[in-house]
Chains A and B, each alone.
Chain A
Amino acid sequence: MELFDNLALGFGVAFTFQNLIYAFIGCLLGTLIGVLPGVGPVATIAMLLPATYALPPVAALIMLAGIYYGAQYGGSTTAILVNLPGEASSVVTMIDGYQMARKGRAGPALAAAGLGSFFAGCVGTLILAAFAGPLTEVAFKFGPAEYFSLMVLGLIGAVVLASGSLIKAVGMIVLGLLMGLIGTDVNSGVARFSFDIPELTDGVGFITIAMGVFGYGEIISNLSKPEEDREVFTAKVTGLMPNAEDFKNMIPAVLRGTFLGSALGILPGGGALLAAFAAYTIEKKTKLRPGEVPFGQGNIRGVAAPESANNSASQTSFIPLLTLGIPPNAVMALMVGAMTIHNIQPGPQVMTSNPELFWGLIASMWIGNAMLIILNLPLIGIWIKLLTVPYRWLFPAIVLFCAIGVYSTNNNTFDIWMVAMFGVVGYGFIKLGMEPAPLLLGFILGPMMEENLRRAMLLSRGDWSVFVTRPLSASLLAVALLLLIIVALPSIKSKREEAFVEE
């Protein structure tokens, strides 16, 4: 079996003492920062990215994967204990998780989230390993026209599945694409929109955008809310493990969530949020067993299902990134940035040119998931302590780490001026109800899209119909169009808006 050979190679790479340590540190740091209220996974990864610069590429990616899982788990912890979602997909976990915490069952809720995520992560890793090979084969058949259409589909998918106002989110994508074009044009060497500032000819750093918009923007917006909005349940966490009854309820929910999440995660456009919502809806539709707590009042299935769905989806969302080089969501966009810094161009060629890295990364994802269980179940008490740290100590530290991180990217104070500007812009986005995640995605994809558009048009001698006459490209665009039409249908539109109201 080729699959097992490959996995064996991967585990061989990942199971060195050094890489295990990096996975462990990554998980630890990720959870540590991710658990802080008001810091989502994107901000966490952006903040911790500089810590991986000095490492060799494989170790750096392994550590990043650890940070990613840690941050996500940390986000669920804050959702359950503080009723504050670190990211959109933990909004669903919040509904029942927070109610469980209020009833003194925060321990089982956290354990359900952790165990469900671990199981889902294992399944997701297997699917990733199994599908990566065949998909890479497909990727080699892709020409520039197909890549362009795929990116259109990815971007449309991202806003359809993951945002409030559709048209505003599309606007944010276009804005992101435009910002991605700032800097030297690779074909002609012309410095575009750089206002004769030498630092800008390299383009805007994506870390400055991520930290300014997600880090500073969020902090400013958090500070403008009154303190009593943040209520923490810490004293009452007793009895960590779910009881037998909980397990009986949990297991089918975890299985359903995992299955749904794995399927939706492969879709370009970040299925994690959709998966969490769909898993919760399905659980809500199934019949309650006698004596079970109704949904919305602290049902353990309402935590286990969306968390498993969320985690298996975030696992399988590595598939489009690793095989096609296209990030399906903002977190993956950051991973692309990280890979580029380590001189790895994500895409189908990684698997053939760097098999140790590719399979090592996949193996380390599983290790990262396992690490989380080992680390977090015993340490939940400590994470909860962290939540009681007053915000007035936290936010100066966060601002400081952002500033240090931004500076260390290029050892250049220019980036600090840029991050200040994006902080103001980010707060403006929040005030105007404009979502920053699509912007980051567009920003990463901007140069890639332009490059592929140019190549496709050059090959077709300026004939735009190339995008619809090539069957693969045409079907990708058709799916994108279909997604837009489905969302615009009145019945779906109202349901969709309902789902986002709670944010």
Chain B
Amino acid sequence: MNIKSQKDFFSGLVYVVVGGAFAIGATNYNVGTGARMGPGYFPLLLGILLAIIGAFVMFKSLTVETQDGDKIGSWAWKPLFFIIVGNLLFGILLGGLPSIGLPAMGLIAAIFGTTIVVSKAGDVFNLKEVLILATILSIGSYAAFVLLLKLQFPVWPTFITG
């Protein structure tokens, strides 16, 4: 059997797996009856519905012809990796990781770290340019979020401010 639409086949698969997982998970809670629904009733219903939709999408992807096979195409691993890692780094630098004893480094350090890592996701990477960008973003963010909007951020590393 040939997959006629790769995109649809895998989205159907996602629906079946996620729907199934929610439905199975829902049985851990009290399902109840129609008149007195427990916390598991609606998720069970929706989970089964999603799995059925997924099965239908998969079935269609195996039977209905498409022009070019609807290929998913190659994944952009590089941008995916650097954007997500840059984002995670922002959280780690800003708030620290108490579980491994890493102190909070504050907003400014987080902005520099994130800007540098995220910039790696692009085609061109020019360190000098990125550092200028990070400086502008730091000043701008400090002015906008801390001074103007008065949002609560740890701005400087905790070992400096105490």
What residues make up the interface of A, taking CB atoms closer than 8 Å to B?
A: 50-51, 53-54, 165, 167-168, 170-171, 174-175, 177-178, 181, 185, 187-188, 190, 192-193, 216, 219-221, 223-224, 227, 391-393, 395-397, 399-400, 402-404, 407-408, 411, 413, 416-417, 419-420, 423-424, 427-428, 431-434, 449-450, 453-454, 457-458, 460-464
The residues in B between 73 and 89 inclusive whose CB is less than 8 angstroms from any CB of A are: 73, 75-76, 79-80, 83-84, 86-88
B37 and A177 within 8 A (CB): no
Q: Does B10 contact A (CB under 8 A)?
A: yes
23 contacts between A and B (CB under 8 A): A53-B151, A171-B50, A187-B37, A188-B39, A190-B39, A192-B26, A216-B87, A227-B123, A396-B130, A396-B137, A399-B86, A399-B87, A416-B88, A416-B90, A423-B83, A428-B14, A432-B10, A432-B11, A432-B72, A433-B11, A457-B35, A458-B36, A462-B34
Question: Which residues on B are within 8 Å of A, measured CB to CB?
Answer: 7-8, 10-11, 14-15, 18-19, 22, 25-26, 29-30, 33-40, 42-43, 46-47, 49-50, 53-54, 56-57, 60, 70, 72-73, 75-76, 79-80, 83-84, 86-88, 90-92, 94-95, 110-111, 114-115, 118-119, 121-124, 129-130, 133-134, 137, 141, 145, 149-153
Nearest CB in chain A to that of B87: its residue: A420
Contact check: which of A53, A167, A178, A187 meets B46 at CB < 8 Å?
A178
Name the one of B8, B60, B84 contacting A423, with C-beta atoms under 8 angstroms.
B84
Known: A192-B25, A396-B133, A413-B94. 7 other contacts (CB 8 A): A178-B46, A187-B37, A190-B29, A392-B123, A408-B153, A434-B11, A453-B42
**Chain A neighbourhood of B37, CB < 8 A:** 187, 453-454, 457-458
Q: Are B150 and A54 in contact (CB under 8 A)?
A: yes
Q: How far is the CA of A171 from the CA of B130 in the complex (A)?
A: 41
* A174-B153 in contact (CB<8A): no
Return chain B residues, CB-CB under 8 Å to A419.
Answer: 87
Within the complex, the shortest CB–CB distance from A423 to chain B, in Å, comes to 6
Verify B83–A216 contact, CB threshold 8 A: yes
Cα distance A187–B36 when bound, in Å? Answer: 11
**A185 with B39: CB separation less than 8 A:** yes
Closest A residue to B35 using CB positions: A462
Assembly CA distance A462 to B38 (angstroms): 13
Shortest Cβ distance from A412 into B: residue: B95
CB pair A403 B90 closer than 8 Å: yes
Q: B122 to chain A: which residues have CB within 8 Å?
A: 223, 391-392, 395
- Nearest-neighbor residue (CB-CB) of B140 within chain A: A397
Cβ–Cβ contact B133 & A171, under 8 A = no
CA distance A424 to B35 in the complex (A): 40
Given contacts A190-B29, A407-B94, A462-B34, are A400 and B114 in contact (CB under 8 A)? yes
Chain A residue with the shortest CB-CB distance to B45: A453
State in angstroms the CA–CA spacing of A75 and B1 once bound together. 44
CB distance from B56 to the nearest CB of A (A): 6
If A193-B43, A221-B76, A416-B91 touch, whether A395 touches B10 (CB-CB below 8 Å) is no
Pairs A-B, 9 closest by C-beta atoms: A462-B35, A224-B76, A416-B91, A462-B34, A413-B95, A223-B79, A185-B39, A413-B91, A403-B90
Given contacts A165-B8, A432-B7, contact A404 B118 (CB under 8 A): no
CA distance A174 to B43 in the complex (A): 10
- Contact A397:B34 (CB < 8 A) given known A223-B76, A420-B88: no
Residue among B10, B54, B72, B87 making CB contact with A416, cutoff 8 Å:
B87
The answer to whether A458 touches B35 (Cβ under 8 A) is yes
**A416–B84 alpha-carbon span in the complex (Å):** 10
Residues on B with C-beta less than 8 A from A193 are: 22, 25, 43
Partner of B42, one of A219, A391, A404, A450: A450
Complex alpha-carbon distance, A171 and B47, angstroms: 10
